[in-house]
Amino acid sequence: MISDDKRLQEIKEDFHRKFSHLKIEFYAGAHQKGEGSPMREQLDAELTIGRVRSVHNEGDFHIIPQMTVAEFEGKLLAKYGLNAQVFRRSGNLWMQTTATDFWTLAEQNRKGGASAEAYIEKIGLEDHIEPERPED
């Protein structure tokens, strides 16, 4: 449910529960197709949606795994006025999915999971360090 009193953090957590190898961040401005969002424009996750968005529609936002990243980000912007960027886990890092925005959310999540497994296998479980948590 998207509403003005909900915190960005709650949206981020809901998304990460559905796609465990992806995360989303919210930004003050929109990014162009194929470009990343600058870190300096990243919004504090404790802000409420009402403080940061330009379109004040409320309602359920259904995330379909077969939706591309570009479609997902575009719908968040068009329907709710939220500038979002999807990140995929890559080993021990989070990468913006700018070059692969045409992949579906399910594909991105699978790739992130495979990358995480390869990283854990490479370094060994005893040396495994989790990437920063999406809610950080």
CA 46 and chain centroid, separation:
16
User: CA–CA separation, 31 vs 106, rounded Å?
Assistant: 22
Instruction: List residues bridging with 94 in a β-sheet.
Output: 89
Q: pLDDT digit of tens for each residue in the chain (136 aa)? A: 889 999 999 999 999 999 999 999 999 987 767 777 888 999 999 999 999 998 888 888 899 999 999 999 999 999 999 999 999 999 889 999 999 999 999 999 999 998 888 877 777 755 555 555 555 4
